[in-house]
Chains A and B, each alone.
Chain A
């Protein structure tokens, strides 16, 4: 194979020879060519923290140019889609960039994450391949059997491993370079598993977002080094840690996602060993580190180099972050290292960042304001590093997700589309150059969230306060009873307090009643078969929800593992509601 160079040393943090540019390029190709002039790159580590491969950006460029020339020579047309099974490897990175040298669109596809579910995984791959109309798929050898099961449903020009691709007999010609407004890649991380839609990202969108993140969000400086366990099939792993590092000439160390899930402390050990400064993770990543932090794993750990512990990708849970900060305080972790952020794949990745060095700031917001019963008043900010008093009755902690990046306009709008003043909760709309062009080949889904003049409806609810964005929850899932808003998360949380029920086991939706009123309904996954047990279970849930939220809910039991999820694993309430109404999610005995 070409250009493989197994280095025994990781690429360095510092590079005096290259002046840093913050993605000030027209295309990803220009960014790669510039980074290739330096000595930095990407390092891949094993679950035990050993260096597996070091890929300098120079080597990345060389391998990608070769792959690009081969793709052109094999007859792929501009903008053809190439599915890439996104394992954390140098091969994935080289093929992703290689597609750019042929003006093709790479489409990163996911890996399995748990025991079982073979058919579901294969169907998910096939659904995404069909949605983007891929004509080739490149897969690591280990995944080949499963991937071919999906790919064999289509008439692909190529399906196989990187080695097989490079062994194809072709006469190499030229590369075919993209322009700034051309599409760069497709991202499948939003939308449901059954009806996937890919976000279309242009070179310009990517450069603008990488520039904003590198220069204003993370504020990369000479000694910065990124570390990531995030998968390449997720926007935060692809754009946040890989493409931003590449386009801003920063060295990044990668730990495969599955290794992080099994041995999360390796992430912190690498941070300590390599003096990394910048990471991102959803809340649950910090959660599993805190859970697995045994005495021996803490030994010798020094987290004092950490500058940006970015949090994004899920609703930020303050208690979890507090717990992490307390657990790792003795090895140099400062809570001011946390950098809450907000973003979505439809905006390439990032929308807002907390200023670095501040930490988590929460507003205590009156529940009656959140539910729409009461007008907003000035909220009072409280700092996590000052350690506030946790849950105050009748108030909810809402996390400050920071200041919108400079390239965005942002508005909070009410139901009628009117822009709201500070402190008023409404739907978050954004406009700017890193907003997606469309959902690929899906004008209907695009029109539902993106206006002709470029405003994107994020689907999230929030408010502004002193220039910062506070995210409250998702809009579409609201349950409104007698004019009062109820957040489904709250009803679900109430149910989850019952022993044996976990996050994701229940979906709160509203169903139309006999007089067209909304009836709050909880769909709860249940594997009890005995009628009496099921009835008792329903009673227990009703009592719990009533006790916790004061709401009388209808309870519907559904079979285990039937509640629909998006491809990024989030519960899809909209889908659950539609399926329940159409009878797909049946409840055989109790009503």
Chain B
């Protein structure tokens, strides 16, 4: 799966969380642009983990601000597995 494929799938998962109906771009941020609270973030993380069958470790979270960064992290975790 290419990085683009991963990003597109993640964007699909985000749609129900996109309450403000903003345009989703690679640089869209979760906290500011999407305005997700920490519980919604955890719901989203669970869905990403289920879809890609991976575990996103806790220590990565503070560095993940944008959709692109999450896509890169998922790609890396899948590559390491």
Chain A residues with a Cβ under 8 A of chain B = 47, 87, 111-118, 121, 142-143, 145-146, 258, 261-263, 284, 288, 292, 500, 502-504, 527, 560-561
Given A262-B45, A500-B35, A502-B35, list of 12 further CB < 8 A pairs? A47-B55, A112-B58, A113-B61, A116-B30, A118-B63, A121-B62, A142-B59, A146-B62, A261-B38, A261-B42, A262-B46, A263-B46
Q: List 20 A-B contacts (CB under 8 A).
A: A47-B55, A87-B58, A112-B58, A115-B41, A115-B61, A116-B29, A116-B30, A116-B31, A116-B62, A117-B31, A258-B58, A262-B49, A288-B39, A500-B35, A502-B37, A503-B37, A504-B37, A527-B32, A527-B35, A560-B31
> How far, in angstroms, from A261 to B43 measured CA to CA in the complex?
8
Known contacts A112-B62, A115-B65, A146-B62: A262-B42 contact under CB 8 Å:
yes
Does B24 make an interface contact (CB < 8 A)?
no
- Which of chain A's residues have a CB closer than 8 A to the CB of B63? 116, 118
Q: Cβ of B58 and Cβ of A561 under 8 Å apart? A: no
Known contacts A263-B46, A500-B20, A560-B35: A115-B58 contact under CB 8 Å:
no
Residue of B with least CB distance to A119: B62
- Which of chain A's residues have a CB closer than 8 A to the CB of B61? 112-116
Chain B residues with a Cβ under 8 A of chain A = 19-20, 29-32, 35-39, 41-43, 45-46, 49, 55, 57-59, 61-65, 70
Residue of B with least CB distance to A118: B62
Q: Cβ of A115 and Cβ of B31 under 8 Å apart? A: yes
Known contacts A112-B61, A114-B41, A263-B46: A500-B19 contact under CB 8 Å:
yes
> How far, in angstroms, from A288 to B41 measured CA to CA in the complex?
12
- Which of chain A's residues have a CB closer than 8 A to the CB of B29? 116
- Closest chain A CB from B44 CB (angstroms): 9
- Which of chain B's residues have a CB closer than 8 A to the CB of A145? 59
- Closest chain A CB from B33 CB (angstroms): 8
Known contacts A112-B58, A112-B61, A116-B62: A561-B37 contact under CB 8 Å:
no
Known contacts A118-B62, A143-B59: A113-B38 contact under CB 8 Å:
yes
- Which of chain B's residues have a CB closer than 8 A to the CB of A47? 55
- Which of chain A's residues have a CB closer than 8 A to the CB of B41? 114-115
- Which of chain B's residues have a CB closer than 8 A to the CB of A261? 38-39, 42
> How far, in angstroms, from A114 to B42 measured CA to CA in the complex?
7
Of B31, B35, B49, B59, which is within 8 A of A146 by CB? Answer: B59
- Which of chain A's residues have a CB closer than 8 A to the CB of B35? 500, 502, 527, 560
- Which of chain B's residues have a CB closer than 8 A to the CB of A527? 32, 35
Q: Cβ of B32 and Cβ of A561 under 8 Å apart? A: yes
Residue of B with least CB distance to A147: B59
- Closest chain A CB from B73 CB (angstroms): 10
Q: Cβ of A117 and Cβ of B32 under 8 Å apart? A: no
- Closest chain A CB from B4 CB (angstroms): 21
Known contacts A146-B59, A262-B45: A115-B30 contact under CB 8 Å:
yes
Residue of B with least CB distance to A284: B39
> How far, in angstroms, from A580 to B42 measured CA to CA in the complex?
31
- Closest chain B CB from A130 CB (angstroms): 20
- Which of chain A's residues have a CB closer than 8 A to the CB of B39? 261, 284, 288
> How far, in angstroms, from A118 to B62 measured CA to CA in the complex?
4
- Which of chain B's residues have a CB closer than 8 A to the CB of A263? 46
Q: Cβ of B62 and Cβ of A117 under 8 Å apart? A: yes
- Which of chain A's residues have a CB closer than 8 A to the CB of B49? 262
Q: Cβ of B57 and Cβ of A142 under 8 Å apart? A: yes
- Which of chain A's residues have a CB closer than 8 A to the CB of B46? 262-263
